[in-house]
Amino acid sequence: MHTRALNTPTAMPVSFPRSERLAPGVANPALGGNACTRCRLRQRCLPTGLSEENLREFSTLIFSPRRVKAGQALYRAGDAFDAIYLVRRGFLKSIMLGEAGREQITGFHTEGDVVGIDAIGSERRTTEMVALEDSEVCGIPYARLEDMSRHIPALQRYLHRQLSEEIVRNHSMMFLLGTMRAEERLASFLLSLSERLTARGFSPSEFILRMTREEIGSFLGMKLETVSRAFSKFQREGMILVESKHVRLLDPEALQRLIGRQAQPQ
Amino acid sequence: MHTRALNTPTAMPVSFPRSERLAPGVANPALGGNACTRCRLRQRCLPTGLSEENLREFSTLIFSPRRVKAGQALYRAGDAFDAIYLVRRGFLKSIMLGEAGREQITGFHTEGDVVGIDAIGSERRTTEMVALEDSEVCGIPYARLEDMSRHIPALQRYLHRQLSEEIVRNHSMMFLLGTMRAEERLASFLLSLSERLTARGFSPSEFILRMTREEIGSFLGMKLETVSRAFSKFQREGMILVESKHVRLLDPEALQRLIGRQAQPQ
DNA sequence: CGTAAGCTTGACAAAGTTCAACGATTGTGG
DNA sequence: CCACAATCGTTGAACTTTGTCAAGCTTACG
């Protein structure tokens, strides 16, 4: 039935950009110093423009990959902030906790993403990072990264770009939460998910949601029932096919149009 | 009535990042290169822990203060990103523009704040910064700041702290927009405004709003009528006194309680 | 195989928006 | 300096969107 690879943990991407693959499951030679240069994600996660020597030096920074099982936390609010992480495999959510048991998901993260960078400047974590499926991350001790970025300009630029991207993402999220209605939010969510998966070599139109309706709702600032109804409506109107976690976008332009219409001057 | 001296920095062209390309960051003759050490805001806006020498060097980075009149833009979306700014006086809003004329205010800024830092990593501005009252900002060319932060660790830390604070602020905003109801948002807004003003030595309980109801609404993701009604309700219940832009907090604890109650487990 | 978790849907309630009217304030040009 | 226009703020009433509660169904899992 499916002709395209889905974004399941087992499926390999169909057209992985510059596919440079290590046999899946092969243990990373612990701190080999050049582990990164052989990583299948190096195009995506490493700073560009490093010399061979710099790359080797950078490589020594990195902790050997750490596993985080589904449901487990990579870090919790209150933990000391001492490292940022590169997601090597899997899928995670970051959560912000407030008073009265209120909480909100502030992001979903998958392979190639840098996570945990938001705590820079504070001593402790203010958010929590929890795996939604079995995942693997590479830690980079932040103090050493900061040091090293002082004499490797490309690394400094890399760090700043990551921070900047975090800020830009947050801004679009504020925009979404501040100006869009429920259906627009969901449409926007689906399109951006599709975009991110495409950039990783997966099918742009068909994917598996790794999170529950409740988690989508938390992220988008709405209740799970509203998420569910919006999914059903999109399906009824022929824009998507949805069956539980399995989604297929039939008419992305329609979703885009749904977002675009609103509010003209005067 | 203000007196206007035509040969002061006041007369700077509005579009200076584009046209005024020469000598960015050259020490301002009028201010003698150590202007910062004598600035009334130095405790608040400068990096801490700089040696005398470093401080002097940092000082040479800074453009002489530039005025932005109420209603004018410091920069617009699409402008080249080449500097960040320290607000020396006044009050500004940052705006994010979307399709279909949608827009959202993503922040309000006043003296001592660092603004325009969000575009790091991109070539161009993605947001717009507009003065709500006559304001004055000091520009810092970003490229040179990045350079200099390489050999002055305290400066690097300063930069990272600013970025981090931006991220943390954005997260609380996402939390507010994602989990709070209209009245909670407004209460939260008032309390944080009070907090910020207190930190600047103003009265914690009485202040003048520099923005309209519509701007508050845009920031908080609600309509101006809803803002107005919430104000009226707070007043009716004795929590605040409000008369147009003039606000007095009578019972901050009640506002705090209003936010705190909601949602228990199971 | 039974229980828990997740998803969908309906009916109703609550919150927020829209539209409209009107008063107050501000700013501008005569 | 006044008069007029424009902007801003408040409030009511009708309406729309979203949340709440409840039921039933499916799927996952021990």
B223 CB inside 7 Å of strand C: yes
Give residue-wise pLDDT tens across range A4-24: 444 543 333 322 222 222 222
3-class SS at B186? helix
Pair A132, A201 in one domain:
no
Mean pLDDT score across all residues of chain B: 84
Q: Which residues of A touch B260 (CB under 8 A)?
A: 99-100
Query: Using CA atoms, how far apart are residues B131 and A262, in angstroms rounded to an integer?
Result: 27
- CB of A146 within 8 Å of a chain B CB? The answer is yes
From the alpha carbon of B224, which nucleotide's C1' atom is closest?
D9
- Residue B112 falls within a domain, yes or no? yes
| Contact by Cβ (8 Å): B258, B249 | no
- Residue B142 falls within a domain, yes or no? yes
Residue from A108, A163, A96, A141 nearest B165 by CA = A163
- Residue A135 falls within a domain, yes or no? yes
Question: Which CATH number belongs to the domain containing residue A51 in this structure?
Answer: 2.60.120.10
* β pairing state of A240-243 and A83-97: unpaired
- Residue B213 falls within a domain, yes or no? yes
Give residue-wise pLDDT tens across range B10-66: 222 222 232 232 233 344 444 445 567 777 887 777 777 788 888 888 888 888 889
Q: Write down which residue in A137, A159, A174 finishes a domain.
A: A174
Give residue-wise pLDDT tens across range B164-207: 999 999 999 999 999 999 999 999 999 999 999 998 888 999 99
- Residue B168 falls within a domain, yes or no? yes
Res A257 pLDDT > 90: yes
- Residue A7 falls within a domain, yes or no? no
| Contact by Cβ (8 Å): A54, A155 | yes
- Through-space separation of residue A70 CA and nucleotide C3 C1' in angstroms: 21
Percent of chain B at pLDDT exceeding 90? 65
- Through-space separation of residue B187 CA and nucleotide C29 C1' in angstroms: 41
Pair A219, A248 in one domain:
yes
Q: Which of residues 236-255 of A touch strand C (CB under 7 A)?
A: 242-245
Average pLDDT over residues A129-150: 94
Pair A214, A169 in one domain:
no
3-class SS at B31? coil
Give residue-wise pLDDT tens across range B139-167: 999 999 999 999 999 999 999 999 999 99
- Residue A187 falls within a domain, yes or no? yes
Pair A95, A213 in one domain:
no
Q: Are A174 and B263 a contacting pair at CB < 8 A?
A: no
Pair A34, A81 in one domain:
yes
Query: Using CA atoms, how far apart are residues B224 and B190, in angstroms rounded to an integer?
Result: 15
Pair A71, A130 in one domain:
yes
Pair A190, A164 in one domain:
no
Number of domains in chain B: 2
From the alpha carbon of B211, which nucleotide's C1' atom is closest?
D8
Residue from A236, A257, A262 nearest A187 by CA = A257
- The C-alpha of B173 sits at a distance from chain A's nearest C-alpha, in angstroms, of 7
Greater model confidence, A1 or B45: B45
Pair A188, A221 in one domain:
yes
Pair B129, B209 in one domain:
no
Chain A residues 42-101 with a CB less than 8 Å from chain B: 96, 98-101
Q: Write down which residue in B151, B174, B197 finishes a domain.
A: B174
Per-residue confidence (pLDDT) for residue B264, from 0 to 100: 39
- Residue A4 falls within a domain, yes or no? no
Pair A199, A157 in one domain:
no
Res A50 pLDDT > 90: no
Pair B169, B195 in one domain:
no
- Through-space separation of residue B173 CA and nucleotide C12 C1' in angstroms: 32
Residue ranges making up the domain that contains A134: 18-174
Helices A252-260 + A182-199 axis angle, to 10: 130
Q: Are B118 and A166 a contacting pair at CB < 8 A?
A: no
Q: Which of A114, A144, A167 to mutate to test the interface with B (most CBs of B within 10 A)?
A: A167
Residue from A184, A177, A165 nearest A84 by CA = A165
- Through-space separation of residue A182 CA and nucleotide D8 C1' in angstroms: 30
Question: Which CATH number belongs to the domain containing residue A221 in this structure?
Answer: 1.10.10.10
- The C-alpha of B262 sits at a distance from chain A's nearest C-alpha, in angstroms, of 6
Q: List the strands of the sheet with B240-243, edge to edge.
A: B206-208, B246-249, B240-243
Mean pLDDT score across all residues of chain A: 84
Pair B41, B59 in one domain:
yes
A247 CB inside 7 Å of strand D: no
- CB of B163 within 8 Å of a chain A CB? The answer is yes
| Contact by Cβ (8 Å): A147, B156 | no
Q: Write down which residue in B127, B158, B174 finishes a domain.
A: B174
